Amino acid sequence: MIAISNILVPTVLSPSCAWAARYAAQLARRLDAKLIFLHTGSRPQQEVEDFLIPLLDNSPHEVVIRQGDPAEVIAQFARELPADMILMPTHAGGRFRRFLLGSVTAKVLHDADCPVLTGVHRDDLPASPSADIRNIICAVDADSSFAPVLRCALDLKTVFHANLKIVHAIAAADETSDSPGETEIRRYLFELAKDKFDVLCREAGVNVTISLAGGPVHRVVREAALHENAELMIIGRGHMQRALGRLRTHAYAVIRNSPCPVLSI
C-alpha cells in the first residue's frame, strides 16, 4: 500500500498557492500525512504563517524558509526530508499561459524523485479546493513505467474508495477516419497494445481492464477524465528525465489540458 507520510507544498503566497494549501490540508487529513510548507524567498516566517493559517483549518504543519533557485531548492529539500509527494500549482502567467507550464513547476517535474501533484492549469477550469476523490483516471504506457503507476492508482483507489478507469492512448491510431487502410492500421495497433498489456499485467501480477483509444495523448486522457468526472488523474513521468522520452513529449500537454489535478509518478 502506498505510504505518504510527508507532503511538501512550495508556496509564494499567491492565490494559486492558497488553493494548494487548502487542497494539501484536506489531502493530508485523508492520508494521515505531515504538511511541510517551503518558501523560497525573503518573506519572514510569520508572514508565511499568517498567509497559511486561515487556509488550513487547524491542520498541523511546518514552515521552512530557504534561499536559492526555487526549483533547485524544492527538489533538493524534497530529497532531504524525504518528501513522499510534492504538491504545487502550475504557475504560469501572460497571454500564453494555457500553453506553458511555469518554469519552476516544469523543472520540479523534471528533477524531483518523488511524485508531484499539480493543480488544474486552465483558467476556464478553476481547481476545486476539495480533495474529495471519488473518480480516478490513470493513464498508462506499455513500458517499464506501467507497474509503479498502476500500483499507485490501485492503492489510491483503495484509500479513497474511488472508482478507477485505466486508459492508454495510441497516438498513431486515427479513430476519426473510416478508410479501410486506416481501419486496418488501427486494428493492428490496438491488438499490439493489448498483447503488450497482457504481458505487463501478468508480470505485475494484476488483473485489470485497460481502455484503449486512438488520438493525441492529451486529448484522449482529457476526454476520459471528463467522461468519468475524475477528481484526480495519475500519469507516469519517468521518461521525462530522458532526452527524447515519450512522456517528456506528452506529459506537459496532459497536465496543461487536464480538467482535474494530476499526480505524476
Q: How far apart are CA 46 and CA 181, in angstroms?
A: 66
Positions in the chain short of pLDDT 50: 94-99, 239-247
Q: Which residues of 145-167 are buried (b: 16+ CB within 10 A; e: fewer)?
A: bbbebbbbbbebbeebebebbbb
Q: What is the distance between the alpha carbons of residues 102 and 256, in angstroms, rounded to a whole number?
A: 10
pLDDT at 252: 86
**What pLDDT was estimated at residue 92?**
53
Asked if 169 and 216 touch (Cβ cutoff 8 Å), the reply is: yes
Interval 186-242: pLDDT, tens: 899 999 999 999 999 999 999 999 999 999 999 999 999 999 999 999 999 864 444
What is the C-alpha to C-alpha distance for residues 82 and 247, in angstroms, rounded to an integer? 25
* Residue located via cell numbers 486494428: 187
Q: What is the pLDDT of residues 249-263, one digit of tens each?
A: 588 889 989 999 999
Predicted local confidence at residue 112, as pLDDT? 94
pLDDT for residue 90:
86
CA distance 166 to 39: 36
Amino acid 238: pLDDT: 61
- Find where cell 516544469 sits: 106
pTM of the entire predicted model: 0.90
Q: Identify whether the C-beta of residue 78 lies closer than 8 Å to the C-beta of residue 112.
A: yes
Q: What distance in Å separates the CA atoms of residue 201 and residue 219, rounded to the nearest whole number? A: 25
pLDDT at 3: 86
Residues constituting the chain:
265
Q: What is the DSSP letter of 168?
A: E
> Which domains does the chain possess?
6-118 (3.40.50.620), 135-264 (3.40.50.620)
CB-count burial class (<10 Å; 0-12, 13-18, 19+) for 230: buried
My answer on whether omega of the bond before 44 falls inside 30° of 0, hence cis, is no
In contact, 124 and 98? CB cutoff 8 Å: no
Helix (H, G, I), strand (E, B) or coil at 86: strand
**Residue carrying C-alpha cell 502567467:** 93
Q: Within 13 Å, how many C-alpha atoms sit on residue 128's CB side?
A: 12
Residue 104: closest CA among 79, 52, 69: 69
Contacts of 212 (CB under 8 A, 6+ apart): 167, 168, 170, 190, 193, 194
